[in-house]
Amino acid sequence: MAEKINPPAKVRRAEHDPYKMRSIEQILALFDGGAFLADLLDKHRQLQIDLLEHRDEHGTKGCQGTMTIQVSYALGKSGDVSMGATATFKAPKKPPSSAAAFINEDGELTLYSPLMARMQTPVRDAEDYDPETGEVRDVD
């Protein structure tokens, strides 16, 4: 590695730098003239609404989402920093649609329960019943 004959002197900054970025919000406001931050906040609000709607429709199972912010930095030769930012949002996944049916003796789907078929056959006649009320009397 080559030695530098005259390394650059460190720049002394004032104690109080009015241009210093002091919060992540200030840094995110730099991108696209503040449009990135405004869009980020709108999408964050929509994610919260999506979570509430998912809870109301499907309950709390699987009621989760994510927000990922990625800021990349590239340092230039003169101390300048190029920055890029992306934000991705993942709303809660809707549960799969559900249905129920039965499988008959031929291996086909049917809505008719095989248990009901067994209960209803064979039909039997009640011989001892009250003709006025229709009540079936026990045979002893």
Q: How far is CA 40 from CA 13, 53, 56, 72, in A?
A: 33, 20, 25, 16
Q: What is the pLDDT of residue 136?
A: 81
Q: Give the whole-angstrom CA distance, residue 103 versus residue 9.
A: 83
- CB contact at 8 A, 110 and 104: yes
Tens-level pLDDT at each residue, the chain (140 residues): 556 677 677 777 667 888 888 999 999 999 999 999 999 999 999 999 999 999 999 999 999 999 999 999 999 999 899 999 999 999 999 888 889 998 888 888 988 887 776 666 666 677 788 888 888 877 65
Residue 66 host element (H or E): strand 66-75
Q: Give the whole-angstrom CA distance, residue 31 versus residue 100.
A: 51
29 contact partners, CB below 8 Å, separation of at least 6: 36, 37
- CB contact at 8 A, 21 and 27: yes
Q: What is the pLDDT of residue 98?
A: 86
